[in-house]
């Protein structure tokens, strides 16, 4: 579940950055159309691929439930962090992405 | 609760009518729809009944949304009763078919 | 209603949400607590010790106890212990005339001694579980009301989605410290971000009671023989009736082994014996619900009680049965391990918060229009009182329930009923309090009381039992320790909330001067 959580959180952060408002708040610039598309694709991919580790460990039924739960909770965590600790929110996403391969090794 | 003067009686009557159409009419429509599914689905009897029951709540929801989205209380009743009559007919045919 | 589709849906969302919001808040909060009902029961009955004993031993002990204490019962139920519910419990239903519902008796047994555990009588976490769908009303009215509330919740969710124009644009938007705007952002956040859970829990609660609330298709397809429907769906209920001749029940352990063999290592959760003293006794062995996400209603193995003959093994469930079982299994969450269970809990709290913020927003919006007047119109005052009583009042009631568990004497015979009474008395008192105190003060005072009560729970636990936090942590009793720690954390949160409420009351005068100008423009 941990890898799925890290991937979902990073994915949502990417999707969040793809919006004008939040990109402006967090990175102080407007995203170019190319960047916006790239972030959207990356975000969507991360969210979808997160199904992989969840199902790999727990099977289809339980895995999908875990993925869904992790999806919701990572979004909630991001949205609650953003107004209070925006930099921490971004750092967590970066750290999470870096830590994912390590976490993946742990379950293999 | 919107202004200092109390709401006109006609408005209150219309709202009550819509609520009744939604709650009672909606339940009727949902029940009849589920009966149709239970009688017409080509699966085993218990399975058809389960499918009918599980889907009924979607019909109920649609009925409720219609009753408040349409332009008048009369339309609300119409929009619920007509499908109900249709489902009742289909159910009747289905029932007759299982008998013969 | 000529304003357009979205506005009509907004109207429906607002009114449906208000009328049923108070009830739904209680249902959601108690239902969320029910995800940890075993842990709550463990805290409330610390005398029930965990003994790592194997199932066969437990089964034999239970059978002996029931044979000695309830030989003529209509039905026996034996619930085997598992990781979360350490107690071996037995239940039996008295034999009464057909058509009547016999009384149920429940006892927790010590699997080592074979005697009933002398634990304090308490409903434990079961109280919250049962309340959230029975609402302390006589059968079947509570279930009807809670299912009606579920249908209204479904309508409120869908109309909420329709009304929320910028659902994707505002997906990540949460702007605190901006008054009403923040409350709405919060309501949207806990609503939209946790939407899959809310939709699942609401629709599944409708499906769970669908046979009761939507019986039309059963009657249409099966006519008068509704029992045939239930036998088709739940083969375990299709039991041979009592013949009226006495019979000897074989040891249940061998049937247990055979059933497990059928499931290739699946776990047995419960064994039910019908007409145990009759020659037509039948035994149903139920598979553990925690074995899979999809609750398989059919996964029972049935035996003849007197001959041991294998009567029936349920086959593979059909697609509709799998769908129905999925709804049931997802709602119950029995399959969830510790981490996932906490996630369920958090999602449940999010749903509760969604309803609570909605109620606050409903009132807040309309209160703005009456800010000038000193007296609130009756309707708004009523909503305010109900808001306070149904939310902070419920919190006080829950804490009082736990307090009663620790303070009532252990050997007091009616203590179980009195714990429940305390819950409702506390809730009633909070309603009284809310009706005599002005809005903000009512909130602050009740939240403060809730905070104190919750924070003190670990303390009274330490004072009245030997299972206090230190002992629990040292012995690795995570359920016990977790309960104390969660109560403490909740208490701290309520104290913070009370302080925020109090602080917000102070800068009101300045804002009030600015508002009349905007009000005049809006009113015309």
Mean pLDDT, 10 residues at a time, over chain C (524 residues)?
82 97 98 95 83 79 87 87 78 76 78 78 92 93 97 98 90 90 94 97 97 94 88 74 80 86 81 85 82 75 83 81 93 92 97 97 88 79 95 97 93 90 97 92 96 96 86 85 95 95 62 43 40
C139 and B CB contact within 8 Å: no
CA distance B1 to C476: 56
> If we measure between CA atoms, which residue out of A5, A8, A4 comes closest to residue A52?
A4
By C-alpha distance, the chain B residue nearest C328 is: B54
- Which SS3 state, helix, strand or coil, does residue C54 take? coil
- Integer CA distances (angstroms), C322 to A54, B54, C226, C502, in order: 22, 12, 21, 51
CB B82: neighbour CB atoms within 10 A?
11
Q: How much is the pLDDT for C512?
A: 42
- Which SS3 state, helix, strand or coil, does residue C306 take? coil
Phi/psi region, residue A30 (left: phi>0; alpha: psi -120 to 50; beta: rest), is beta
C-alpha distance from A17 to closest chain C C-alpha (Å): 10
Q: How much is the pLDDT for C129?
A: 96
CA distance C142 to A20: 49
Is it the case that residue A68 has pLDDT exceeding 90?
Answer: yes
Sheet holding C104-109, edge to edge: C104-109, C88-93, C75-79, C268-274, C282-287, C300-304, C310-313
Contact between C340 and A78 using a beta-carbon 8 Å cutoff:
no
C-alpha distance from C88 to closest chain A C-alpha (Å): 27
C214 and B CB contact within 8 Å: yes
Q: How much is the pLDDT for C238?
A: 66
Distance of CA C414 to the CA centre of its chain: 23
Chains in contact with A via at least 3 Cβ–Cβ pairs below 8 Å: C
Closest by Cβ to C172, choosing from A16, A69, A84: A16
Burial A68-101 (b: 16+ CB within 10 A, else e): bbbbbbbbbbbbbbbbeeeeebbebbeebbeebe
CA distance C357 to B13: 30
Distance of CA C9 to the CA centre of its chain: 30
Q: How much is the pLDDT for C50?
A: 66
> If we measure between CA atoms, which residue out of C445, C435, C440, C441 comes closest to residue C378?
C435
Q: How much is the pLDDT for B5?
A: 57
**Pair C71, C246: CB distance under 8 Å:** no
Q: How much is the pLDDT for C523?
A: 42
CA distance B84 to C486: 51
Closest by Cβ to B31, choosing from C216, C366, C377: C216
Contact between C194 and A72 using a beta-carbon 8 Å cutoff:
yes
By C-alpha distance, the chain C residue nearest B98 is: C221
Chains in contact with C via at least 3 Cβ–Cβ pairs below 8 Å: A, B
CB contact set of C232 (below 8 Å; sequence gap of 6+): B44, B45, B46
CB pairs under 8 A between B and C: 106
Instruction: Give me the residue label for tokens 């034996």.
Output: C78
pTM: 0.90
Cβ contacts (< 8 Å) between A80 and chain C: which residues?
174, 189
Instruction: Give me the residue label for tokens 């970066």.
Output: A94
CA distance B43 to B45: 6
- Integer CA distances (angstroms), C156 to C10, C15, C347, C497, in order: 9, 9, 18, 27
Contact between C5 and B37 using a beta-carbon 8 Å cutoff:
no
Contact between B47 and C220 using a beta-carbon 8 Å cutoff:
no
**Pair C469, C462: CB distance under 8 Å:** yes
CA-angle at C371, arms to C365 and C374, nearest 5°: 135
Tally of residues, chain A = 108
Domain boundaries defined on chain A: 2-107
Instruction: Give me the residue label for tokens 């208000």.
Output: C18
Contact between C229 and B46 using a beta-carbon 8 Å cutoff:
yes
Q: How much is the pLDDT for C54?
A: 81
Q: How much is the pLDDT for C99?
A: 67
Mean pLDDT of B42-58: 95
Q: How much is the pLDDT for C514?
A: 43
CA distance C437 to C443: 9
CA distance C321 to A96: 40
Q: What stretches of chain B adopt beta strand conformation (E)?
A: none
Contact between C158 and B43 using a beta-carbon 8 Å cutoff:
no
CA distance C429 to C417: 18
Q: Give the CA count within 13 Å in the CB-facing half-sphere of C327.
A: 20
Is it the case that residue B1 has pLDDT exceeding 80?
Answer: no
* Strand C104-109 to C310-313 pairing: unpaired
C285 sits in which H/E element: strand C282-287
Is it the case that residue A108 has pLDDT exceeding 80?
Answer: no
**Pair C234, C199: CB distance under 8 Å:** no
CA distance C152 to C12: 10
CA distance C76 to C284: 10
- Integer CA distances (angstroms), C155 to B59, C194, C330, C473, in order: 12, 17, 20, 45
Q: How much is the pLDDT for C506?
A: 52
CA distance C351 to C196: 11
> Prior bond to C97 cis, omega within 30?
no
Q: What's the maximum distance between 2 C-alpha atoms anywhere in chain C? A: 86
The ipTM (two decimal places) reads 0.94
Rg of chain C on CA atoms, in Å? 26
Closest by Cβ to A79, choosing from C193, C336, C339: C193
Interface residue ranges in chain B relative to chain C, Cβ cutoff 8 Å = 1, 3, 14, 18, 30-32, 34-35, 37-39, 43-54, 56-57, 60-61, 64-65, 68-72, 91, 95
Contact between C196 and A79 using a beta-carbon 8 Å cutoff:
no
**Pair C498, C441: CB distance under 8 Å:** no
Cβ contacts (< 8 Å) between C294 and chain A: which residues?
61
């Amino acid at each position: 579940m941990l890898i799925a959580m890290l991937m979902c959180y990073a994915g949502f952060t990417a999707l969040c950055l793809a919006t004008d408002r939040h990109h402006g708040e967090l990175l102080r610039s407007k995203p170019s159309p190319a960047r916006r598309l790239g972030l959207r694709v990356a975000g969507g991919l991360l969210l979808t691929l997160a199904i992989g580790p969840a199902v790999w460990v727990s099977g289809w039924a339980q895995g999908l439930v875990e993925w869904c739960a992790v999806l919701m909770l990572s979004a909630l965590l991001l949205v609650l962090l953003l107004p209070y600790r925006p930099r921490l929110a971004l750092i967590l996403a970066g750290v999470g992405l870096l830590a994912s391969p390590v976490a993946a090794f742990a379950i293999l | 609760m919107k202004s200092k003067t109390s709401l006109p009686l006609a408005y209150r009557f219309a709202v009550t009518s819509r609520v009744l159409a939604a709650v009672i009419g909606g339940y009727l429509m949902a029940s009849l729809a589920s009966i149709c599914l239970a009688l017409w689905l080509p699966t085993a009897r218990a399975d058809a009944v389960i499918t009918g029951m599980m889907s009924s709540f979607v019909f109920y929801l649609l009925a409720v949304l219609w009753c408040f989205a349409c332009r008048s209380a009369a339309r609300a009743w119409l929009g619920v009763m007509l499908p109900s009559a249709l489902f009742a007919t289909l159910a009747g045919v289905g029932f007759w078919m299982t008998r013969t | 209603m000529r304003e357009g589709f979205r506005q009509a849906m907004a109207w429906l969302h607002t009114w449906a949400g208000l009328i049923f919001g108070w009830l739904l808040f209680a249902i959601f909060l108690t239902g969320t607590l029910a995800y940890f009902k075993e842990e709550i029961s463990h805290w409330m009955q610390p005398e029930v010790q965990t003994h790592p004993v194997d199932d066969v031993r437990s089964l034999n002990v239970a059978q002996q106890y029931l044979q000695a204490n309830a030989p003529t019962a209509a039905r026996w139920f034996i619930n085997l212990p598992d990781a979360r519910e350490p107690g071996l419990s037995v239940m039996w239903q008295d034999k009464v005339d057909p058509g009547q519902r016999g009384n149920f008796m429940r006892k927790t047994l010590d699997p080592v001694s074979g005697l009933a555990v002398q634990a304090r009588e308490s409903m434990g976490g079961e109280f919250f579980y049962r309340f959230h769908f029975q609402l302390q009303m006589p059968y079947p009215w509570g279930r009807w009301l809670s299912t009606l509330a579920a249908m209204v919740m479904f309508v409120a969710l869908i109309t909420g989605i329709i009304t929320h124009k910028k659902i994707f644009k505002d997906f990540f938007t949460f702007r605190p410290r901006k008054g009403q705007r923040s409350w709405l952002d919060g309501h949207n956040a806990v609503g939209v971000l946790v939407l899959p859970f809310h939709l699942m829990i609401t629709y599944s609660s409708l499906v769970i009671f669908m046979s009761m609330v939507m019986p039309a298709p059963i009657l249409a397809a099966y006519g008068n023989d509704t029992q045939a429907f239930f036998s088709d769906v739940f083969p375990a209920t299709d039991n041979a009736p009592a013949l009226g001749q006495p019979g000897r029940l074989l040891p249940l352990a061998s049937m247990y082994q055979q059933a497990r063999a059928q499931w290739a290592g699946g776990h047995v959760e419960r064994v039910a014996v019908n007409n145990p003293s009759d020659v037509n006794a039948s035994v149903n062995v139920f598979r553990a619900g925690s074995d899979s996400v999809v609750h398989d209603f059919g996964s029972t193995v049935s035996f003849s009680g007197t001959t041991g003959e294998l009567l029936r093994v349920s086959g593979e469930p059909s697609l509709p049965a799998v769908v129905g079982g999925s709804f049931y299994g997802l709602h119950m969450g029995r399959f969830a391990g510790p981490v996932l269970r906490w996630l369920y809990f958090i999602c449940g709290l999010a749903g509760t918060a969604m309803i609570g913020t909605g109620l606050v927003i409903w009132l807040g919006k309309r209160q703005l229009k009456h800010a000038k007047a000193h007296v609130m119109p009756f309707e708004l005052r009523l909503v305010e009182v109900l808001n306070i009583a149904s939310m902070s009042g419920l919190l006080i009631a829950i804490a009082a329930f736990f307090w009663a568990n620790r303070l009532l004497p252990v050997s007091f015979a009616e203590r179980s009923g009195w714990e429940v009474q305390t819950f409702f008395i506390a809730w009633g008192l909070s309603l009284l309090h809310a009706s005599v105190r002005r809005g903000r003060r009512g909130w602050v005072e009740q939240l403060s009381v809730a905070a104190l009560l919750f924070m003190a729970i670990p303390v009274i636990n330490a004072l009245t039992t030997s299972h206090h936090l230190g002992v629990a942590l040292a012995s690795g009793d995570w359920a016990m320790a977790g309960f104390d720690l969660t109560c403490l954390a909740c208490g701290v949160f309520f104290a913070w909330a009370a302080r925020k409420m109090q602080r917000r009351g102070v800068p009101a005068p300045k804002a009030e001067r600015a508002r009349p100008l905007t009000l005049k423009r809006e009113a015309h």
